[in-house]
Amino acid sequence: MNKRMKNKEISIMKKMLFLGLLMVALSLSGCGNPVDEEDLTAPTVSSTSPVDAAIAVERNSNVTATFDEDMDEATIVAANFTLMQGVTAVEGVVSYADKVATFNPANDLAASTVYTATVTTGVTDAAGNALEADKVWTFTTTANPPAGPAAVDLGTSGNYAILAKTGITTTGATLITGDIAVSPIDAAAMTGFGLTMDVSNTFAISALVTGNVYAANYVEPTPTDLTAAVLAMQAAFDDAAGRLDPNSSELGAGEIGGMTLEPGLYKWGTGVSITTDLTLNGGADDVWIFQVASGLTQAATVQVLLTGGALPKNIFWQVGGAVALAATSHMEGVVMSAGAITLAAGATVNGRLLTQTAVTMDANTIVEPAL
């Protein structure tokens, strides 16, 4: 009797040991039901679009923030995901899917503008944990595409503030910023400058010129370079003259003083006169081309004014005749003339004077535009 009871106890103990080992094995194999640990970790924004400090962002872009874990969709709302232009809130719709919060602006964003996006600590993950700090990033939108025609390619003629085929003369206290040159005529056709040759004999200098002075009879490579520049000047003139489909023809019957002109191609079959101030309004990349069949005259004290960020390097006056800028007038842009260019006393130019004949000056200031 005692032996049977002892064997029974041993059998029970073996079963209990087997069950214990089985439970351990099941636990180690993952087949058990361990208790999940509580999520106490704050979520983070793992990436944004656009990235912080991005430039040239398309104006129709959405703004997104991608999280490192699933979020509570109820907290991904407009109050917690904002887009600002300075102190002005951008209208838009906020949505959430697959760990990504999206801000969809109601309208295209403004051009060349800095925006600030913010995801606040009001957003939480599925366990209720909030961001530890606001996520803030900025980006800048792309500029408007240039208005007006394509710019005229000046080639190497654009290396000079003044380039003339038959001469450059001056009297009085003229001041030119940029290089000047004559070709195919030689240096004798440049008068009033008090030229001093450089030791290289490839260029001269003058107290009136902040830059170098070149002529076709100087030492190589100057003659070759000037031949190429003169050919480029002619090509640029022909390019501007050959542009088709003008935005306006015969505007003001050739009198454009007092007008404000937007970027575009303007054409006249006659001459053009500017008797009162002319304003060119447009952006830094916008282009104006003026096709003038005959001469261009600008009255005394009259100014060509640039507004809206317009730049003289993008303004091209293609003139089939002579150009006359009267006393103390002010011109902006690249003047490409088949005839002579004459500047009366005190006239000033922000631009270039490129002529197939000669330039005559009298105490003038010429400043070449930045490229």
DSSP notation for 268-295: ESS-EEE-S-EEEE--TT--EEEEESS-
- Where a domain ends, among 141, 166, 190? 141
49 lies in the same domain as 196:
no
What per-residue confidence (pLDDT) applies to 33? Answer: 47
128 lies in the same domain as 173:
no
Is 19 part of a structural domain of the chain? no
What per-residue confidence (pLDDT) applies to 146? Answer: 87
Instruction: Give the number of domains in the chain.
Output: 2
164 lies in the same domain as 308:
yes
For residues 69 and 42, give the distance between their C-alpha atoms in angstroms, rounded to a whole number: 10
- Where a domain ends, among 141, 163, 190? 141
pTM score > 0.85 for this model? no
Is 355 part of a structural domain of the chain? yes
- Pairing type for strands 114-119 and 81-85 reads antiparallel
What per-residue confidence (pLDDT) applies to 206? Answer: 98
Is 183 part of a structural domain of the chain? yes
Is 242 part of a structural domain of the chain? yes
211 lies in the same domain as 187:
yes
186 lies in the same domain as 306:
yes
118 lies in the same domain as 164:
no
- Pairing type for strands 92-97 and 100-105 reads antiparallel
Buried (b) or exposed (e) across 47-63, using 16+ Cβ within 10 A? ebbbeeeeeebebebeb
Single out the residue of 338, 329, 192 nearest to residue 351, CA to CA: 329
50 lies in the same domain as 104:
yes
56 lies in the same domain as 205:
no
Is 324 part of a structural domain of the chain? yes
SS3 assignment, position 106: coil
* DSSP classification of residue 42: P
Which amino acid is it at 232?
A: A
What per-residue confidence (pLDDT) applies to 1? Answer: 46
The torsion defined by the Cα of 293, 298, 303 and 306, in degrees rounded to 10, comes to: 10
What per-residue confidence (pLDDT) applies to 72? Answer: 97
CA distances from 58 to 30, 78, 142, 155, 286 (A): 50, 22, 6, 32, 19
175 lies in the same domain as 278:
yes
Range of the domain at 79: 45-141
pLDDT (tens digit, 0 to 9) for every residue of the chain, 371 residues total?
Answer: 455 555 555 555 565 656 555 555 555 555 444 445 788 899 999 999 999 999 999 999 999 999 999 999 999 999 999 999 999 999 999 999 999 999 999 999 999 999 999 999 999 999 999 999 999 999 999 988 889 999 999 999 999 999 999 999 999 999 999 999 999 999 999 999 999 999 999 999 999 999 999 999 999 999 999 999 999 999 999 999 999 999 999 999 999 999 999 999 999 999 999 999 999 999 999 999 999 999 999 999 999 999 999 999 999 999 999 999 999 999 999 999 999 999 999 999 999 999 999 999 999 999 999 87
Tell me, what CATH number does 130's domain have?
Answer: 2.60.40.1220
Cis-peptide, bond into residue 246, ω within 30° of zero: no
Is 7 part of a structural domain of the chain? no
238 lies in the same domain as 324:
yes
112 lies in the same domain as 199:
no
205 lies in the same domain as 242:
yes
Single out the residue of 159, 153, 164 nearest to residue 338, CA to CA: 164
Is 10 part of a structural domain of the chain? no
CB atoms inside a 10 Å sphere around CB 293:
16
- Where a domain ends, among 141, 165, 186? 141
The token duo for 8 is 């029974």
Is 27 part of a structural domain of the chain? no
Single out the residue of 297, 260, 254, 253 nearest to residue 277, CA to CA: 260
What per-residue confidence (pLDDT) applies to 370? Answer: 85
What per-residue confidence (pLDDT) applies to 188? Answer: 97
